């Protein structure tokens, strides 16, 4: 069966998710298992290596101890036959006969100890291919008095194991010498009793320890010189440190110092080839030497790595089989969903009555989905019928709202400048609704050299507010033409709006009558925001207003009128609360303080420029926040000539 992977397919994606989770769980388990197994193998390797090292050290130490005991047990014979110089050859020979590990033995006397024997006298027995031979060791060419094996134990007056050396003129082999100083009755050293130990024999003992196929053993002396090494040219010619000078890993030098300090343990080193090696080491305390074993990473972890490879291959094959199984199974289970999706496409294109594909009885989620989809199809058909009716009604309402908005905007003055023939007054106003229609209003007209103007704000928004706005504006025009004092106009407006006010709506309004000849402003405020008065030379301040109630709240309320003299070149700025209460995305208000600050920066400009700049400032403050209230502004500039004021 051919399987095609479609990354957009539900079955493929679910299969990959299952594979990802399974692979992740397996990987975590495998990593934990591998590291646990690796740690255990490393611990076992360390234990095995250290145990082998300790056994080798014990064997070497046992042999060295036997040499020391043999020398000590034969030393009494030298004192017994001290008067018989030639018997010393027999003593040395018997020491070799009874101790196969000893390759040679000398009894080196002090210079001229036996005058009849000459300046040098050192009977020496040694082994060669023919057996045990004897000879006189000291000659003018071999002045043993200056040898380390003679000088050091004499000076220290203590037994001494020498560093291995090539004994030219003596044993003619690489050896180490155990020296025992002999004292006379006065405590003076008169001779050194030695036992030579062949380094070849010691090498055999060390190399007998074969931990791994590619591991090698080595041994260094007290100064770090190689005593045993797989490369013969390094023995006695190089130290542990000179041989590792070109290594980048400083751990090697640390290992050398620890071995010289008599420490026991192991370290990991990184070779120049980026391979890892492990060095195990233990001291031979009797001589100060140290034995080490170097193993490669492959020697220790080859078995674990083989298991890792096998597990990874098996896991990869298993995950591949799991992927195939999941894709086939999930595709089979989701096939009804694919058919249902095709039917849904026909429904989405408008064919709401397309038949659903057949499905055998299923009581799982797919069966429930089929049943729900059938119900949805029937409900969708009914909904589309209702939506068509609703859409038609909505379009009709939106059309009516557009017409209402157009009618509403035509009710307020919108031609500027409104009085082109007059030089004593300049006026500009704007109204921006928060919805299709709004509840703010402004109006003005000039009659008998008096400017009648008002700004109002109906409570609420939308169609009800727009209707009350239209009524209020019409009443203002009608009443202001027949009733002159502002308080009477406001009282009449309040009476008209209070009658049959079952919706409990109200209107805040500022109404003013400016005598363009005298500059006297009569005004009455019905709960509206106080206007701002300023000029090019005076900072903006709020006009003092009395706290009258809004219109339509209480019929018969006694409104109070106020009066001021508006100086020439003065500006009066009226607005609704949509200006000061404009919010930004952080719910911060534009505020009255910012209103005064903005007007202060604009007081040298004309009314139209002031209102446009103020609108930009409001939009800058609001940013992306939606407008939540109608914004209405009216600004007038009173500029009478000198003869008009008189």
Q: What is the pLDDT of residues 328-347, one digit of tens each?
A: 777 666 667 666 677 777 67
3 state DSSP class of 50? helix
Residues of the chain with pLDDT under 50: 1, 643, 646
Supply 641's token pair. 């000539």
Supply 170's token pair. 């003596």
Asked whether the CA dihedral 622, 592, 530, 419 is positive or negative, the reply is negative
């030639």: which residue's tokens? 86
Residue ranges of the domains in the chain? 33-218+232-241+294-304, 354-398, 416-645
Terminal C-alpha separation, the chain:
108
* Nearest by Cα to 439 from 428, 451, 450, 431: 431
pLDDT at position 244 is: 65
Helix ranges (H only) for 217-353 are: 251-260, 297-348
Q: pLDDT tens for residues 306-323? A: 777 788 888 888 888 877
Count Cβ atoms within 10 A of the Cβ of residue 454 and give its class: 0-12 exposed, 13-18 middle, 19 or more buried. Answer: buried
3 state DSSP class of 538? coil
CA distances from 606 to 452, 536, 570, 599, 638 (A): 20, 10, 11, 11, 11
- 350-385 burial, b at 16+ Cβ within 10 Å, e below that, comes to eebeeebeeeeeeeeebeebbeeeeeebeeeeeeee
Instruction: Please enumerate in sequence order all residues whose Cβ is within 8 A of that of 165, keeping only pairs 6 or more positions apart, or say none.
Output: 148, 174, 175, 176, 236
pLDDT at position 643 is: 46
Length of the chain measured in residues = 646
8 A C-beta contact, residue 506 and residue 552? yes
Instruction: Please enumerate in sequence order all residues whose Cβ is within 8 A of that of 144, keeping only pairs 6 or more positions apart, or say none.
Output: 106, 108, 120, 122, 137, 138, 150, 170
Full-prediction pTM beyond 0.75? no
Using H for helix, E for strand and C for coil, what is the string for 568-627? CCEEEEEECHHHHCCECCCCCECCHHHHHHHHHHHCCCCHHHHHHHHHHHHHHHHCCCCC
Instruction: Please enumerate in sequence order all residues whose Cβ is within 8 A of that of 74, keeping only pairs 6 or more positions apart, or say none.
Output: 91, 94, 95, 193
Max CA pair span of the chain: 167
8 A C-beta contact, residue 23 and residue 319? yes
Residue 514 CA to residue 609 CA, distance in Å, equals: 22
Residue 305 CA to residue 270 CA, distance in Å, equals: 19
pLDDT at position 1 is: 47
* Nearest by Cα to 473 from 528, 535, 407, 412: 412
Instruction: Please enumerate in sequence order all residues whose Cβ is within 8 A of that of 279, keeping only pairs 6 or more positions apart, or say none.
Output: 255, 266, 267, 269, 292, 293, 294, 295
């009282």: which residue's tokens? 491
Give the side-chain half-sphere CA count within 13 A for 434: 23
Across the beta sheet with 520-526, what order do the strands follow?
Answer: 440-447, 450-458, 507-515, 520-526, 562-565
Q: Write the class of the CATH domain 416-645.
A: alpha beta
How big is the CA angle at 501 (ends 496 and 505), to the nearest 5 degrees?
100
8 A C-beta contact, residue 173 and residue 198? yes
Supply 211's token pair. 């931990």
CATH for 33-218+232-241+294-304 is 3.30.450.20
pLDDT at position 199 is: 77
Supply 450's token pair. 């008096």
Residue 508 CA to residue 529 CA, distance in Å, equals: 8
């Amino acid at each position: 069966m051919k399987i095609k992977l479609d990354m957009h397919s539900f079955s493929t994606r679910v299969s990959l998710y299952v594979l990802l989770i399974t692979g992740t769980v397996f990987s975590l388990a495998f990593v934990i298992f591998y590291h646990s197994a690796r740690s255990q193998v490393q611990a076992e390797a360390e234990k095995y290596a250290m145990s082998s090292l300790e056994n080798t050290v014990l064997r070497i130490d046992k042999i060295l101890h036997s040499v020391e005991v043999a020398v000590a047990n034969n030393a009494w014979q030298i004192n017994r036959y001290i008067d018989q110089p030639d018997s010393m050859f027999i003593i040395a020979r018997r020491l070799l006969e009874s101790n196969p590990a000893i390759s040679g033995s000398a009894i080196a006397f002090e210079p001229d100890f036996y005058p009849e024997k000459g300046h040098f006298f050192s009977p020496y027995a040694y082994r060669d291919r023919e057996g045990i031979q004897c000879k006189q060791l000291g000659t003018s060419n071999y002045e043993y008095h200056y040898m380390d094996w003679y000088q050091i134990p004499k000076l220290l007056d203590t037994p001494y194991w020498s560093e291995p050396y090539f004994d030219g003129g003596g044993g003619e082999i690489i050896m180490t010498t155990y020296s025992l100083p002999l004292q006379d009755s006065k405590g003076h050293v008169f001779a050194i009793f030695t036992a030579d130990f062949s380094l070849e024999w010691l090498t055999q003992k060390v190399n007998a320890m074969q931990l791994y196929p590619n591991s090698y053993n080595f041994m260094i002396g007290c100064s770090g010189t190689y005593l045993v090494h797989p490369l013969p040219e390094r023995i006695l010619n190089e130290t542990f440190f000179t041989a590792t000078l070109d290594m980048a890993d400083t751990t090697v030098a640390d290992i050398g110092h620890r071995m010289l300090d008599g420490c026991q343990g192991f370290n990991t080193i990184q070779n120049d080839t980026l391979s890892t090696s492990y060095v195990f080491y233990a001291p031979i305390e009797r001589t100060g030497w140290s034995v080490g074993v170097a193993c490669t990473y492959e020697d220790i972890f080859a078995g674990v790595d083989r298991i890792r490879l096998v597990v990874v291959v098996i896991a990869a094959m298993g995950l591949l089989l799991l992927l195939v199984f999941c894709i086939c199974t999930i595709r089979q289970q989701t096939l009804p969903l694919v058919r249902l999706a095709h039917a849904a496409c026909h429904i989405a294109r408008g064919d709401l009555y397309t038949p659903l594909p057949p499905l055998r009885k299923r009581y799982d989620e797919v069966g429930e989905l089929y049943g729900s989809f059938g119900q949805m199809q029937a409900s969708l058909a009914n909904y589309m019928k209702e939506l068509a009716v609703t859409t038609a009604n909505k379009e009709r309402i939106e059309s009516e709202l557009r017409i209402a908005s157009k009618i509403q905007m035509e009710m307020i003055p919108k031609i500027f400048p409104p009085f082109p023939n007059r030089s004593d007054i300049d006026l500009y106003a704007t109204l921006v609704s928060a919805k299709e229609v709004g509840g703010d209003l402004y109006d003005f007209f000039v009659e008998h050299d008096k400017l009648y103007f008002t700004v109002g704000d109906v409570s609420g928004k939308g169609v009800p507010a727009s209707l009350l706005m239209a009524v209020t504006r019409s009443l203002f025009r009608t009443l202001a033409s027949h009733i002159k004092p502002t308080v009477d106009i406001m009282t009449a407006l309040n009476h008209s709006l209070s009658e049959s006010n079952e919706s409990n709506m109200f209107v805040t309004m500022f109404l003013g009558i400016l005598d363009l000849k005298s500059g006297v402003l009569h005004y009455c405020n019905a709960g509206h925001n106080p206007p701002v008065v300023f000029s090019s030379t005076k900072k903006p301040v709020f006009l003092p207003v009395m706290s009258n109630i809004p219109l339509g709240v209480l019929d018969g309320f006694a409104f109070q009128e106020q009066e001021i003299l508006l100086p020439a070149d003065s500006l009066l700025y009226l607005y609704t609360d949509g200006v000061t209460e404009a919010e930004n995305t952080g719910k911060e208000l534009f505020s009255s303080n910012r209103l005064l600050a903005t007007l202060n920066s604009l007081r040298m400009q004309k009314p139209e420029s002031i209102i446009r700049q103020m609108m930009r400032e409001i939009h800058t403050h609001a940013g992306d926040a939606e407008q939540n209230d109608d914004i209405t502004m009216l600004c007038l500039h009173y500029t009478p000539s000198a003869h008009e004021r008189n």
